[in-house]
Amino acid sequence: MEGAETKTTESRLLSLVIRLGINAAALWLAAEWVRGFEIEGWQSLVATATIFGVVNAMIKPVAQLLGCPLTCLTLGLFVLMINAAMLALTVWIAGWFDLDVEIDGFWAALFGALLVSFVSAVLSAFVGRPLKRALR
């Protein structure tokens, strides 16, 4: 029984590390391509990716639940605002830790969130799913 428990713990840890890597890659690309969104240094990138993961796991579901009526009224477009708000919140929290992360306004947050969402979805499809199948 211990072997199965250890394997489950290892697969969860590996999944967490992969998710962190996907977030870091998506944030790095957004910082490179979106004018007004900057992350300086790999330490800031990894820490910001960690904060972003926590924000998306803890706060985003509540925001989506509260924003559900607006999401329905806008035929799903309000989700883009929630994603931009989560990115802006991540940058704000990163500022508490003196990380070199900046975002200049709504449009940078919106385009950054769009790019992060797209890159995360693509990388998750190519990396996450095959890895989950291999770990079974």
- pLDDT for the residue numbered 2: 57
Low-confidence ranges of the chain (pLDDT < 70): 1-7, 10, 128-136
- pLDDT for the residue numbered 77: 92
**Measured distance between the N- and C-terminal CA atoms of the chain, rounded to whole angstroms:** 16
- pLDDT for the residue numbered 116: 95
- pLDDT for the residue numbered 17: 87
pTM: 0.85
- pLDDT for the residue numbered 12: 76
**3 state SS for 35-101:** CCEEECCHHHHHHHHHHHHHHHHHCHHHHHHHCHHHHHHCCCCHHHHHHHHHHHHHHHHHHHCCCCE
